[in-house]
Each structure stands twice: as structure tokens, then as C-alpha cells.
Amino acid sequence: MENFLDTISALNDETRVKLIAFLDQHGALCVCDMQSSFGMIQSRLSRHLKILKDGGFLRVDRCGTWAYYSIRSPLDRFRSEALAEIRCLGIELPPLKKLSETGDCKL
Amino acid sequence: MENFLDTISALNDETRVKLIAFLDQHGALCVCDMQSSFGMIQSRLSRHLKILKDGGFLRVDRCGTWAYYSIRSPLDRFRSEALAEIRCLGIELPPLKKLSETGDCKL
DNA sequence: CTTCAATATCAAGATATATTGATTTATTGA
DNA sequence: TCAATAAATCAATATATCTTGATATTGAAG
């Protein structure tokens, strides 16, 4: 029940649904790229990403000081269905701004 | 997006997940039966049932002053998956107390 | 038409979640 | 070792959701 509610509450926020859609569209992204793309302050983004990770939707790969988030794979059946549902919503997403590429860390 | 979040937030509450499981197990029940089974005050139950109905999970059939709630059928794909997930949770539910059967309204 | 019973709605307070800005941690490179 | 940078965490406030008790609505029965 706890685990189910973690999964559900991870989805229960517009910002987080958009983040899932964005990562689904662009693959692995680091926090600062999402930050610049969404125009969102870092602490807010970091908190939402943690909730999505704890909810079983995302994985993190660290490369030095950078943290690359991506959709966890494979997703279990229910989370896959949730992702499929999100894909069908036709959410408008901001253009990707890859700030990290002016840096030098390669994933 | 709105519709999706209504669906998700309907699931985002332990009481409501239990109500879905209870109705899934017992079929159509009127409010007072759930009220006595769960030992929950009427206004609280009524509110949760409304949220589940608006979220697309339940239907209501009225018979005089009685309101019988049941799992809506057919559920769309995502909601079916959610129900399947809930069935797997092994939630402990209270025994059914059919207060309504001491009355005289037959569904 | 009045009363009663089942349910729905409303207003207030309690609890949980989200947002912000500041601080902390961890890693890199000088 | 020290400074700089990316990210995480914390504390305070803002916002949303849940719970309760009171009141309103609806239909049935006298």
C-alpha cells in the first residue's frame, strides 16, 4: 500500500508529470538542463526529481558533480501504463536548453 | 492533463484505495453500509465517494433515498490497471456490515 | 403538507504538500 | 588546501487536501 501510494503521489503533481514527459522525450538530462529548460529554481526541481525517483519512475547516474536523470527501465506494468497515459496527454513542453553542453562533462 | 490528475488524485488517498478494494470485493453497496463497515462518519465517506466517482472509478445508482455505489464498468485501460494493482496489494478490509438489509429498499 | 431517513454539501480547523531562499554536501581543478 | 560548481537538504511560508460537525437536499411515508 505504501509503495503504491508513493507511486501515485509521485504522479499527483503537474510539474512532475511534465518532467516525466520531458525525460521521456529527451532521454537522460542533468538537473541544470531541466532547470534552464523549465525556468525553475534548483531546489524545487531537485525535490521533484527525488520524489519521482523514490516513486520508481526515474534513475540517476552521477558523473562527477553532475546528476543525470532518466526514465527507469524497465518500468513495471503499472508505471509503464502510467507513462503510456502521459504520452497520450499531448502535454506542451518547453524547448530543451542544454546548458550542460557549454561545460565539459560527457555522460 | 486535468482528467489525468483527477484520476490520479482520486487514487492518492488510503481511504479511497480501501473503498475501491471494498467495492471490488462486494459489488454495489449503499453509503450507510460502507459507513457502518468502515466505522466512518457519513460526510467523510460521501466526499470520498464523490471524488472516486469524479475520478471515473465509480458509478452511482439511486433507489429512492439510497445511493448504491459500485465499480464503473467498463473501466478504461489505465483505470483497469490501477484496479489490478490495488487487487495485488493485499489490503486488509473490514467485514461487511449490511445495515441496509434491516431496511426495506431492494436494489 | 409534515416528518423522517439517507445522502450531499458547507464552513472551520487540522494535516499534508509545494515553493522559496539559504545552507550544506560532494566533487573537481587550481 | 582552497575556491568554484552542481546538486541535495533544510526551514519558513504558502497552498491544497482531509476531517469533522452542522446544515441542506431529496424522496418516501403517514
Q: Span A54-72, mean pLDDT? A: 96
Let me know if residue A107 belongs to a domain: no
Let me know if residue A99 belongs to a domain: no
Q: What pLDDT is attached to residue A98?
A: 85
CB neighbours of residue B77 within 10 Å = 11
ipTM over 0.90: yes
Minimum-distance CB partner of A78 among B5, B9, B81: B81
Q: Do B81 and A86 touch (CB under 8 A)?
A: no
Let me know if residue A74 belongs to a domain: yes
pLDDT range class, residue B30, cuts 50, 70, 90: very high
CATH of the domain at A25: 1.10.10.10
Q: What pLDDT is attached to residue B40?
A: 96
Let me know if residue B79 belongs to a domain: yes
Domain count within chain B: 1
- On the CB side of A42, CA atoms within 13 Å amount to 6
Q: Verify if strand C has an atom below 7 Å from the CB of A104.
A: yes
**Positions in chain D where some atom is under 7 Å from a protein CB:** 5-11, 17-23, 26-29
Let me know if residue A60 belongs to a domain: yes
Alpha helices in chain A (DSSP H): 2-11, 14-26, 31-38, 42-54, 77-87
Estimate in Å the CA B2 to C1' C4 gap, whole number. 41
Let me know if residue B104 belongs to a domain: no
Q: What pLDDT is attached to residue B107?
A: 42
Q: What pLDDT is attached to residue A102?
A: 63
Judge whether A81 and A18 are in contact, CB under 8 Å: no
Backbone Cα Rg of chain A = 13
pLDDT per residue over A81-101, tens digit each?
999 999 999 999 999 998 777
pLDDT per residue over A6-22, tens digit each?
999 999 999 999 999 99
Q: What is the dihedral of CA B71, B77, B82, B83, to 10 degrees?
A: 30
Cell of A21: 514527459
Q: Do B12 and A1 touch (CB under 8 A)?
A: no
Let me know if residue A56 belongs to a domain: yes
Let me know if residue B97 belongs to a domain: no
What is the domain range of residue B48? 2-86
DSSP assignment of B84-97 equals: HHHHTT----PPP-
